[in-house]
Amino acid sequence: MASQDRAFIRQLLGEGAASLSPADLAWMSEEAERIQARSRALAEAAKTDLDFAAMVGPATAEPLGESWG
């Protein structure tokens, strides 16, 4: 992993990064790649889905229960 990538991951992790071992950091780097791969799949679904109901779906963590009606 490039040193600038490690620095960026440390920055994202904030204060908690200070406690990370090299093994933790290596795992974080791999996880960041997995997150990016999954996010690309989500973005692709969001991009190609033109269904209006999905486009105005909940974009917050508001409790589902409020929408049961």
Give the interface with other proteins as residue ranges (CB under 8 A). 9, 12-20, 24, 27-28, 31-32, 35, 38-39, 41-43, 45-46, 49, 51, 53-55, 57-66, 68
Task: CB nearer to other proteins: give 3 or 69.
Answer: 69
Task: CB nearer to other proteins: give 3 or 62.
Answer: 62
DSSP letter string, 5-67: HHHHHHHHHGGGGGG--HHHHHHHHHHHHHHHHHHHHHHHHHHH---HHHHTS--S---GGGG
Nearest 10 degrees: Cα torsion 18, 21, 27, 31: 0
Closest separation in Å from C-beta 11 to other proteins: 10
Closest separation in Å from C-beta 4 to other proteins: 16
